[in-house]
Amino acid sequence: MSQRIKTLMKHGLVFAVQEDQGGIRSSRITLQNDQIYMHCLWDQPPPPHAHTLQVSEVLGAMDPSSTLVHLDLAWGGSTRGRVHIRLSPNTPAARQFVLLCTGQTGVSYRNTKLHDVWYKGRPRECVVGGDYEGKGGAGIIDIRGGQYRQSGRAGAVWWCWYDAAATAAQFGITTRDCEGDLPFPNVFGEVVSGLEVVRAAANHSDITQVTVVDCGIVLNQ
């Protein structure tokens, strides 16, 4: 990456673009703490004089076996922190999670709310989110099958299994280790940094006030 591109990133002038029948959509590409982020696509063109790349060009060079995404959580009028999640290869739920973090299909987790805390204050505590529709969060691909695993550890990210069609975009993040033999199934990722942010969200007085204000993918993984 040239020094010119690095400078443009620091000034917010590098964008990934995607054009379809609905028009041009764009995503900021930023450099933060030596990591390159492609943020969620918006239904708007890039600003004039921006350096642009095609989304397919940006994502096509990535290693699909090692995908790192991020969710930025906010409540009380301010962003509280960034959560990095390493996704497991060979799981349809992980592929769907990438699509909903980048917004490539036109819908995304951006501006969605977390909507529940299970087992609050107890072992197996977890937060649940992913309802991008406000009425369930239908899956955008079929996420059944694949090499899912079980985990009872804090930081596990798993697919909520209520209904493979109506709520398949919903996900859970475990914030306290399980005790005994009750791990969560359908695990497709793990929080590698920012678990303290998720724990703080779980302790907030009203989980439905916690918003995913930004999301995306880390390009240099």
Three-state SS letters, 207-221: HHHCEEEEEEEECCC
Q: Are residues 147 and 203 in the same domain?
A: yes
Count Cβ atoms below 10 Å from residue 81 Cβ, excluding itself.
16
Q: Are residues 42 and 124 in the same domain?
A: no
Q: Are residues 51 and 84 in the same domain?
A: no
**Nearest-angstrom CA–CA distance, 148 and 12:** 38
> What is the count of structural domains for the chain?
2
User: In which domain, by residue range, is 10 found?
Assistant: 1-61
Summarised one tens digit per residue, pLDDT across range 114-151 is 999 999 999 999 999 999 999 889 999 988 888 899 99
Q: Are residues 9 and 72 in the same domain?
A: no
Please report, in tens digits, the pLDDT of each residue of the chain (221 residues total): 678 888 888 888 999 999 987 789 999 999 998 899 999 999 999 999 899 999 999 988 676 667 999 999 999 999 999 999 999 988 999 999 999 999 999 999 999 999 999 999 999 999 999 999 998 899 999 888 888 999 999 999 999 876 666 678 999 999 999 987 789 999 999 999 999 999 999 999 999 999 999 999 999 87
**Nearest-angstrom CA–CA distance, 211 and 29:** 21
Report the run of H or E that residue 8 belongs to, with start and end: helix 3-10
Domain boundary among 33, 61, 89: 61
The answer to whether the beta carbons of residues 140 and 107 sit under 8 Å apart is yes
Cα–Cα distances in angstroms (integers) from residue 110 to residues 22, 35, 168, in the given order: 19, 20, 17
Domain boundary among 61, 76, 108: 61
118 Cβ contact partners less than 8 Å away, ≥ 6 residues apart: 124, 125, 126, 127, 128, 172
DSSP 136-178: ----SS---SS--EEE-STTEEEE--S-TTTSTT-EEEE-S--
How many Cα atoms sit within 13 Å of 18 on the Cβ side? Answer: 22
Q: Are residues 28 and 7 in the same domain?
A: yes
The answer to whether the beta carbons of residues 188 and 159 sit under 8 Å apart is yes
Q: Are residues 3 and 95 in the same domain?
A: no
Domain boundary among 61, 87, 112: 61
Q: Are residues 202 and 94 in the same domain?
A: yes
Select from 124, 114, 116, 113 the least CA-distant residue to 175. 124
Q: Are residues 117 and 204 in the same domain?
A: yes
Q: Are residues 27 and 136 in the same domain?
A: no
